[in-house]
Amino acid sequence: MTALDSVPTDLLIGGASCDAADGQRFDVVDPATGKVLVSVADAAVEDGVRAVEVADKSLPSWAAAAPRRRADVLRRAFELLIERRDQFARLISQENGKALADAMAEVTYAAEFFRWYSEESVRVLGSVQTAPSGANRIVVLRKPIGVAVLVTPWNFPAAMATRKIAPALATGCSVVLKPAGETPLTALAIGALLEEAGVPPGVVNVLPSRRSGPLVAGMLNHPAVRKLSFTGSTEVGRLLLHTAADQVLSCSMELGGNAPFLVLADADLDQAVAGAMTAKMRNGGEACTAANRFYVHAAVADEFSSRLTAEMAALRTGPGYEEGTQLGPLINDAAVTTVERLVTDAVERGATVRTGGKRIDGPGYFYPPTVIDDVPLSAAILREEIFGPVAPIVRFDDLDEVIAQANDTEHGLASYVYSQDLATGLRVSEALESGMVGLNRGVVSDPAAPFGGVKQSGLGREGGHEGLLDYTETQYIATTW
Closest CA to 284 of 343, 364, 370, 224: 370
Stretch that binds ligand NAD, among 24-32, 51-59, 173-181, 190-198 (CB under 6 A): 173-181
Q: Which is closer to ligand NAD, CB of 199 or CB of 216?
A: 216
Has 433 been annotated as catalytic?
Answer: no
Whether 243 and 149 have beta carbons less than 8 Å apart is answered as: no
Distance between CA atoms of 411 and 454, rounded to whole angstroms?
7
Residue 149 C-beta: closest distance to ligand NAD, Å: 10
Stretch that binds ligand NAD, among 57-65, 176-184, 190-198, 339-347 (CB under 6 A): 176-184
Residue 398 C-beta: closest distance to ligand NAD, Å: 29
Give the contact letters, 439-458, x = binds to ligand NAD (CB under 6 A), - = no: --------------x----x
Give the contact letters, 204-223, x = binds to ligand NAD (CB under 6 A), - = no: --------xx--x-------
Q: How many residues bind ligand NAD (CB under 6 A)?
A: 29
Catalytic annotation, pick one of 254, 286, 385, 462: 254
Distances (CA, A) of 302 to 271, 307, 347, 353: 16, 9, 18, 14
Q: Strand 147-151 to strand 225-231: parallel, antiparallel, or no bridges (unpaired)?
A: parallel
Taking each helix axis from N to C end, the angle separating 67-83 and 85-96, rounded to the nearest 10 degrees, works out to: 70
Q: Is 283 in the site for ligand NAD (CB under 6 A)?
A: no
Residue 292: what are its φ and ψ, rounded to 5°? -105, -25
Stretch that binds ligand NAD, among 228-236, 342-350, 371-379, 396-404 (CB under 6 A): 228-236
Residue 161 C-beta: closest distance to ligand NAD, Å: 10
Has 173 been annotated as catalytic?
Answer: no
Closest CA to 476 of 160, 111, 131: 131
Whether 373 and 354 have beta carbons less than 8 Å apart is answered as: yes
Interacting residue with ligand NAD among 78, 109, 117, 154 (CB under 6 A): 154
Q: Is 180 in the site for ligand NAD (CB under 6 A)?
A: yes
Residue 463 C-beta: closest distance to ligand NAD, Å: 10
- Vertex 127: Cα angle to 124 and 129 (nearest 5): 180
Sheet holding 370-373, edge to edge: 352-355, 370-373, 390-396, 291-297, 259-263, 414-418, 436-439
Q: Which is closer to ligand NAD, CB of 144 or CB of 179?
A: 179
Check residue 236 and report its DSSP letter: H
Residue 352: what are its φ and ψ, rounded to 5°? -115, 130
Q: Is 181 in the site for ligand NAD (CB under 6 A)?
A: yes
Whether 96 and 89 have beta carbons less than 8 Å apart is answered as: no
Q: Which is closer to ligand NAD, CB of 79 or CB of 384?
A: 384
Residues with catalytic roles: 254, 288
Residues that bind ligand NAD (CB under 6 A): 151-156, 160, 178-181, 212-213, 216, 231-233, 236, 239-240, 254-257, 288, 385, 413, 453, 458
